[in-house]
């Protein structure tokens, strides 16, 4: 029986690795010999057998072995895991752009579940869950005893059913939220023409493109958005990838390529020094060289960071906002042949200048922290007739109260005006556009000046030639 268990464990665990503690991550890995690996596998099989035979209740062998595989892969990094048949199917379903759940991208962090980012227009985003929040309980059950896949599975469920989350935000008391599950259909790209708040009718038109994640159709949607915005004579673009948790590498490459006319986009580097793949942009900038500002924040991860880094390093865009998340690793699914798979980190991402994104993120060219926009002068002053004690009441007061409650729902323009990072991004696009126009005008003036100078030189040359001829003619006459 012991030998059978050992063979089973060896087949289910084709890859063994030594887990490196965070505090010792710079120390060299001590590789085991084949004999030492065999001894450790024997010990693992022995632990399995003793635990199964001596546990106070009937043991679930499948659950034990899956937990062992998950623990092994989880010791490598937070993004590697074992996918059961159900997990693997759910992963593939999610990758096709429609799935059931809360609409939240999460990672494992020191035993808790940390939010990378909520997806736009989903139950999680509408409930006010933010990037950086921690989930400590799901339906009153602690997440510290769960794997990341188990936490995801508990949050998923039939659309319309409810799930209770305990959320801890930085510097705040824990809060409990009850969310209703929904079918999460991700529309990657939203776009519109925007203008600076209170800029009047003659305001410059700015193309605003919001990418909420990088899916299979993102690049196609982006190209359509740029084509339509170009027809509206926008002066430049704000590309908003704030709170974008990432997605497909191919989508990130194609989005970067849409704004580039050449140059490297990203490189992926594996364990071996020779294991490097570089991707380059094709000729053709869909935005026609117009100014681009990329907005990022601490919720911008993975594919978002690839795009920001590519446009920043190629000098194609100015990156504004706050430091991004710092997920610069590549994961791949390796099927095991029985419907299950390993989700494992196989490489790191590097920007064109050779910067690793991992644990560092993208540093904005201009740091703009999200701030509260406060109106210093209000339409209704605190000091008015209504502030006097015993002042006469307005007979239409109820109607006014109703109007005020209706006005509490902000319009899109009012929301834009309160988005400090967006306003500063549009400011920058206008400034860059003016500099670009001024540079173009100066080049034109210089070209005209050069033409005039060349004409003067030719004229002077002709004059000197005539003078030489006159002298020669005079000499001839004297003779």
Query: What is the per-residue DSSP string for 427-468?
Result: HHHHHHHHHHHHHHHHHHHHHHHHHHHHHHHHHHHHHHHHHH
Give the C-alpha separation, 358 to 330, whole Å.
Answer: 10
- Measured between alpha carbons, how far is 272 from 14 in angstroms, rounded to an integer? 20
Answer whether 298's CB lies under 8 Å from 324's CB: yes
Phi, psi of 318 (to 5 degrees): -100, 130
Catalytic residue among 133, 195, 290, 327: 327
Is 302 part of the annotated catalytic residue set?
yes
Q: Which residues make beta-bridge pairs with 356?
A: 350
CA end-to-end span of the chain, whole Å? 128
CA distance 378 to 40: 72
Annotation marks residue 393 as catalytic: no
Asked about 401 being catalytic, the answer comes back as no
CA neighbor of 305 nearest in space, from 262, 243, 398, 224: 243
Q: Which of 213, 257, 313, 419 is catalytic?
A: 313
Nearest Cα neighbor of 104 from 33, 189, 52, 163 is 163
Single out the catalytic residue among 80, 81, 302, 304.
Answer: 302
Nearest residue to 436 via CA among 170, 204, 123? 204
Beta bridge partners of 83: 341
For the annotated catalytic residues, the residue numbers are 302, 313, 327
């Amino acid at each position: 029986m012991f030998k059978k268990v050992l063979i089973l464990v060896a087949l289910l665990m084709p890859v063994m690795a030594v887990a490196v503690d965070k505090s010792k991550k710079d120390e060299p890995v001590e590789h085991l010999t084949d004999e030492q690996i065999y001894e450790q596998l024997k010990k693992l099989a022995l632990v399995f057998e003793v635990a199964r035979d001596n546990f106070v209740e009937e043991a679930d062998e499948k659950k034990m072995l899956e937990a062992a595989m998950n623990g092994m892969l989880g010791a490598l990094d937070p993004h590697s895991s074992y996918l059961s048949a159900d997990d693997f199917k759910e992963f593939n379903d999610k990758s096709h752009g429609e799935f059931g759940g809360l609409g939240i991208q999460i990672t494992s962090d020191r035993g808790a579940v940390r939010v990378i980012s909520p997806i736009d227009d989903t139950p999680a985003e509408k409930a006010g869950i933010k990037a950086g929040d921690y989930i400590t309980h799901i339906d009153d059950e602690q997440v510290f005893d769960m794997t990341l896949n188990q936490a995801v599975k508990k949050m998923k469920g039939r659309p319309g059913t409810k799930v209770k989350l305990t959320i801890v935000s930085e510097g705040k008391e824990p809060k409990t939220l009850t969310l209703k599950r929904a079918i999460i259909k991700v529309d990657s790209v939203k776009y519109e023409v925007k203008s600076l708040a209170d800029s009047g009718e003659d305001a410059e038109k700015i193309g605003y493109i919001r990418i909420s994640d990088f899916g299979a159709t993102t690049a196609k949607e982006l190209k359509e958005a740029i084509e339509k915005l170009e027809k509206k004579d926008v002066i430049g673009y704000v590309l908003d990838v704030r709170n974008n948790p990432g997605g497909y590498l191919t989508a990130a490459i194609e989005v970067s390529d849409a704004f580039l006319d050449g140059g490297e986009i990203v490189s992926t580097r594996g364990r071996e020094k020779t294991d490097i793949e570089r991707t380059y942009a094709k000729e053709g900038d869909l935005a026609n060289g117009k100014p681009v500002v990329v907005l990022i924040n601490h919720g911008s991860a993975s594919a978002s960071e690839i795009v920001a880094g590519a446009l920043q390093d190629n000098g194609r865009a100015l990156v504004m906002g706050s430091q991004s998340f710092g997920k610069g690793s590549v994961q791949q699914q390796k099927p095991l042949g029985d419907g299950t798979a390993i989700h494992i980190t196989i490489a790191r991402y590097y920007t064109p200048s050779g910067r690793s994104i991992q644990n560092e993120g993208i540093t904005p060219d201009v740091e703009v922290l999200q701030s509260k926009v406060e109106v210093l002068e209000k339409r209704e002053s605190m000091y008015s007739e209504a502030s006097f004690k015993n002042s006469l009441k307005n007979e239409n007061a109820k109607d006014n109260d109703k109007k005020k409650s209706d006005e509490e729902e902000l319009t899109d323009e009012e929301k834009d005006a309160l988005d400090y990072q967006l306003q500063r991004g549009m400011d920058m696009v206008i400034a860059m556009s003016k500099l670009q126009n001024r540079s173009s005008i100066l080049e034109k003036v210089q070209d005209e000046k050069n033409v005039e100078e060349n004409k003067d030189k030719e004229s002077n040359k002709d004059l000197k030639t005539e003078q030489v001829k006159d002298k020669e003619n005079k000499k001839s006459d004297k003779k």
